[in-house]
């Protein structure tokens, strides 16, 4: 698919516009949008994916931050009855305003590399509304999301994404598929929120705090990196070896540590 319009990519928005028709078709096949579904596209840019999403008959909302692209998107899609444009920052967007049924919203986006991680965390807060998510991300970010315990890629992003979702690395995309070409490889990832959490934490805030603290100094043992939250006896009581490094712990291990923290704070009359 050729580019819909001439627009200079803006570095401050992290823009790299997708133009490779083969890659676009492959992404659309992976998403497989259908008439009657509710879709949300974050950062439609020049509309490379938007055209196929609208043509599917799905009800499509899009969020675009770049004011220069707003009139162009309105020109090409504004008269489509299944297209709605929201101007603003996806990081601040309240997804409940879309008034969608639980587990029904399908989210799509070629996410700017400079905001991809905070945006994913923002979306995870809305996981109860979401059926699935398909994103173009920096390949390195996708590898971190899919990682397992024991390696250098395993960290806060891996744990918090996998707490909420099943993660699937679909395929890689080279720099030549974009204009301008980024300096890194990209990848398409599918995130499907769990119908039932495999390892539900008693207090999600406690889990977030434990994981943050653990990976602030990932080279240290959890005895040391969590010492402001849990002592060695607490860690052992949670069934975790305090001499291990954070990257050696599983998601289930972190949930047990978070539950121990929640129990301690409850006994002390404090909030985690």
**pLDDT, tens digit (0-9, with 9 covering 90-100), for 190-199:** 999 999 999 9
Nearest to 134 by CA among 103, 171, 100, 98: 171
Task: Render pLDDT for 114-173 as a digit per residue (tens, 0 to 9).
Answer: 889 999 999 999 999 999 999 999 999 999 999 999 999 999 999 999 999 999 999 999
Q: How far apart are CA 254 and CA 210, in angstroms?
A: 7
Q: How far apart are CA 165 and CA 201, in angstroms?
A: 14
From 193, 228, 256, the end of a domain falls on: 193
The reply to whether 51 and 125 lie within a common domain is: yes
pLDDT at 163: 98
- Average pLDDT for residues 236-256, to the nearest whole number? 97
The reply to whether 58 and 115 lie within a common domain is: yes
The reply to whether 209 and 189 lie within a common domain is: no
Number of residues written out for the chain? 272
Q: How far apart are CA 26 and CA 32, in angstroms?
A: 10
pLDDT at 9: 43
Domain at 28, CATH number: 3.40.50.150
The reply to whether 156 and 77 lie within a common domain is: yes
105 versus 3: which is more confidently predicted?
Answer: 105
Q: Determine contact, residues 47/80, Cβ cutoff 8 Å.
A: no
Q: How far apart are CA 102 and CA 99, in angstroms?
A: 9
pLDDT at 46: 87
Q: Determine contact, residues 61/84, Cβ cutoff 8 Å.
A: yes
Position 3 confidence tier, pLDDT thresholds 50, 70, 90: very low
- Average pLDDT for residues 78-92, to the nearest whole number? 96
Angle, helix 116-124 to helix 139-146, in steps of 10 degrees: 40
pLDDT at 112: 81
pLDDT at 149: 97
The two three-digit tokens of residue 175, written as one number:
């720099």
The reply to whether 116 and 149 lie within a common domain is: yes
The two three-digit tokens of residue 216, written as one number:
């602030």
The reply to whether 165 and 65 lie within a common domain is: yes
Task: Render pLDDT for 192-218 as a digit per residue (tens, 0 to 9).
Answer: 999 999 999 999 999 999 999 999 998
Range of the domain at 70: 11-193
The reply to whether 58 and 89 lie within a common domain is: yes
Q: How far apart are CA 203 and CA 229, in angstroms?
A: 15
pLDDT at 6: 47
pLDDT at 267: 60
Average of per-residue pLDDT values in the chain = 91
Place of tokens 């047990």: 256
141 in any annotated domain: yes
End-to-end distance of the chain based on CA atoms, in angstroms?
51
From 170, 193, 216, the end of a domain falls on: 193
pLDDT at 271: 58
How many domains does the chain fold into? 2
pLDDT at 193: 97
The reply to whether 77 and 182 lie within a common domain is: yes
The reply to whether 63 and 171 lie within a common domain is: yes
The reply to whether 30 and 68 lie within a common domain is: yes
The reply to whether 154 and 19 lie within a common domain is: yes
From 136, 170, 193, the end of a domain falls on: 193
Position 5 confidence tier, pLDDT thresholds 50, 70, 90: very low
Q: How far apart are CA 116 and CA 118, in angstroms?
A: 6
Distance of CA 1 to the CA centre of its chain: 26
The reply to whether 155 and 231 lie within a common domain is: no
């Amino acid at each position: 698919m050729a580019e819909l319009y001439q627009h200079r990519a803006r570095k401050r928005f992290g823009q790299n516009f997708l133009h490779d028709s083969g890659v676009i078709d492959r992404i659309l096949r992976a998403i497989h949008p259908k008439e009657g579904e509710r879709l949300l596209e974050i950062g439609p840019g020049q509309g490379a994916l938007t055209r196929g999403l609208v043509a599917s008959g799905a009800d499509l909302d899009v969020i675009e931050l770049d004011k220069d692209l707003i009139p162009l998107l309105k020109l090409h899609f504004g008269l489509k009855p299944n297209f709605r444009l929201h101007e603003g920052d996806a990081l601040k967007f309240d997804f409940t305003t879309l008034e969608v049924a639980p587990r029904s919203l399908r989210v799509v986006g070629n996410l700017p590399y400079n905001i991809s991680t905070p945006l994913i965390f923002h979306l995870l807060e809305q996981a109860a509304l979401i059926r699935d998510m398909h994103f173009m991300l920096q390949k390195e970010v996708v590898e971190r999301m899919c990682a397992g315990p024991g390696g250098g890629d395993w960290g806060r992003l891996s744990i918090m994404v996998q707490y909420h979702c099943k993660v699937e690395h679909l395929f890689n995309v080279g720099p030549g598929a974009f204009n301008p070409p980024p300096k890194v490889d990209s990848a398409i990832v599918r995130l499907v929120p769990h119908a039932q959490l495999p390892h539900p934490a008693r207090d999600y805030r406690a889990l977030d705090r434990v994981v943050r603290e653990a990976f602030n100094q990932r080279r240290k043992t959890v005895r040391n990196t969590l010492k402001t939250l849990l002592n060695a006896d607490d860690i052992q009581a949670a069934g975790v070896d305090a001499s291990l490094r954070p990257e050696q712990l599983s998601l289930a291990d972190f949930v047990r540590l978070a539950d121990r923290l929640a129990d301690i704070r409850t006994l002390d009359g404090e909030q985690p």
